[in-house]
Structure 1
Amino acid sequence: MPRASTRTNASLAVAYLRVSSGQQADSRLGLEGQRATIQRWADARGVQLVAWAEDAGLSGAVALEKRPGLMEALAALRLHRAGVLVVDKRDRIARDVVLAAMAERLVEREHARLFSAAGEGEGDEPGAVLMRHMIDAFAEYERALIGARTSSALKAKVARGERLGAARVGERLVGGSYEPEEKEAALVRRVMELRGQGRTFRAIRAQLVAEGFRGRQGRAPRLATVFAIANRNEARR
């Protein structure tokens, strides 16, 4: 069983899930796979999972404060006095050494410890600490390689005169330019109305579902979509 501070209970854990792509988020396959792995980890160690939080469609390079699921997970640690934050693998927290270290520090401030269901770098021994840093560094390197390949592909598209980027929520691409998409524009307006009332992102999503709003593929709006809409429009003010 994991060890934690005397202020928290090491037999209680909060689970955090994350997938990067919108396709993974929509299919739920990536999230459900992580959920199953974490549940097996908890069952094998006699740990009770008291809360689950997720960031669907958010990169591991996104700033910690811009991840509603991670912020919810940290709040759940405090609420339940849980001594453990568990992830499927360490790169679910971050694919950046600095962000990973910051996240681990935030967990420690809640008198809890970060654990990977894959068992990467557990323990406080120098070798385990070094292993954690090596894992985080490799994840950052992998992200940099992916970024370099993506950048090259985008430059090639520009050279061919192709339009870059998918239409954002509330817009559609018509003849090489973006135009308002009325059904989605109504969703954007409603998100901002509810945000103006001081609602949380999770409360906004629940209200949208209750009112029958649907996203581009006919599914209920995701939490990450609500967050992106609010963040983009608040930045314009």
Structure 2
Amino acid sequence: MKAVLSTKAVAYLRVSTDEQASNGFGLETQERALRAFAESQSYDLVEIITDGGVSGATRPAERPGFAKVLELAELKAFSILLVYKFDRLAREIRYAVTTVADLAEQHDIGIRSVTEPIDTATPMGRTVFAILAGMAESERFTIRDRTAGGKLSKAGRGGFAGGRAPFGYETDLEGGLRIIPEEAAIVRRIFKERGPAARPKRTLRDIAAGLNADGIRSPTGKAWRHDGVGYVLDNPKYRGLVEYLFTWTGTEQHVLQPGTHAAII
């Protein structure tokens, strides 16, 4: 009778910085689930490899942790790769499907998710995985386009699409911008010292040096730099305008028009 060998497995964990902070499947949660699953399947868990703070948009082979997975695969050190969810491999279908196919064809390694009933060690499992991965990516693109469309619509109405309020403003309770008088005075000073009426016209470095000499902190709480002064001067929001530049449905969208907020200059 032929002896049955214990199946060797490697567990792969990944979490982005945002995921670690905002949801419940951080590295510790994933590791507990992977260890329990390996034990339930009588797998010999060779190693647990992690990529912490790494985006799923990064190619798997470019991550330090997954690069080690590939090294062990080359050495034939395991035959099953365990993941918490298949999106731990990659968010983009081309990366996820290619990774699954390469591990199967080049190293005879199957991938199992401890939370999804798909075993890529079988041809049918790989087919089902590719279909589900395509559906997941389609949904991600739909969400992205819906979000971008919302931003474009809001920009068209002159609204503030979100993010950090520029120096001199704060967000109000309705998602708009309102002026902070003390900071607005500093913004007006910068524009005045750089404006055509200034005699002599001051350089960005001169303006930054003057602000620092007067003990005025920059928006980051540090000393002013010439590029920080330049950023203020180039921001159309201070003139009461809104500007958006992003890509939506494959086309670069640029909006510059009067906003709904009050101008500082």
Please, which of 71, 75, 91 is the counterpart of residue 75 of structure 1? Answer: 71
Partner deviation per Cα, 1:127-161 (whole Å, 9 max, x = no partner): x3332112211221233244335545766699538
Please, which of 80, 101, 105 is the counterpart of residue 105 of structure 1? Answer: 101
Q: Give the Å deviation of 1:25.
A: 6.2
Amino acid aligned to 1:105: A
Please, which of 7, 13, 16 is the counterpart of residue 11 of structure 1? Answer: 7
On the 8 A contact 2:100/2:126 being kept in 1, the answer is: no
On the 8 A contact 1:12/1:49 being kept in 2, the answer is: yes
Is 1:175 the counterpart of 2:219? The answer is yes
**Partner SS, residue 82 of structure 1:** coil
Amino acid aligned to 2:117: E
Amino acid aligned to 2:160: R
Partner deviation per Cα, 1:206-231 (whole Å, 9 max, x = no partner): xxxxxxxxxxxxxxxxxxxxxxxxxx
Amino acid aligned to 1:96: E
Aligned length: 164
Please, which of 15, 27, 31 is the counterpart of residue 31 of structure 1? Answer: 27
**Partner SS, residue 102 of structure 1:** helix
Q: Which has the higher contact order (CA 8 A, sep 6+)?
A: 1
Spell out the pairing of 1:133-148 with structure 2 (5 A cutoff).
133-148=130-145
Spell out the pairing of 1:20-99 with structure 2 (5 A cutoff).
20-22=16-18, 24=20, 30-79=26-75, 81-99=77-95
**Partner SS, residue 50 of structure 1:** strand
Q: Give the Å deviation of 1:24.
A: 0.4
| Distance across 2 between alignment mates of 1:38 and 1:179 | 48
Q: Give the Å deviation of 1:28.
A: 8.5
Q: Give the Å deviation of 1:43.
A: 0.4
TM-score by length of 1: 0.55
Tell me: CA distance 1:22–1:13, structure 2 relative to 1, closer, same or farther (3 Å): same
TM-score by length of 2: 0.50
On the 8 A contact 1:14/1:77 being kept in 2, the answer is: no
Match of 1:130 in 2: 127
Amino acid aligned to 1:132: F
Q: Give the Å deviation of 1:58.
A: 2.4
Q: What is the RMSD computed on CA atoms of the aligned residues?
A: 3.7
Partner deviation per Cα, 1:16-36 (whole Å, 9 max, x = no partner): 111233450699952111111
On the 8 A contact 1:74/1:110 being kept in 2, the answer is: no
Tell me: CA distance 1:20–1:154, structure 2 relative to 1, closer, same or farther (3 Å): farther
Unaligned stretches of 5+ residues in structure 1: 1-8, 166-172, 181-237
Tell me: CA distance 1:105–1:131, structure 2 relative to 1, closer, same or farther (3 Å): closer
Match of 1:170 in 2: none
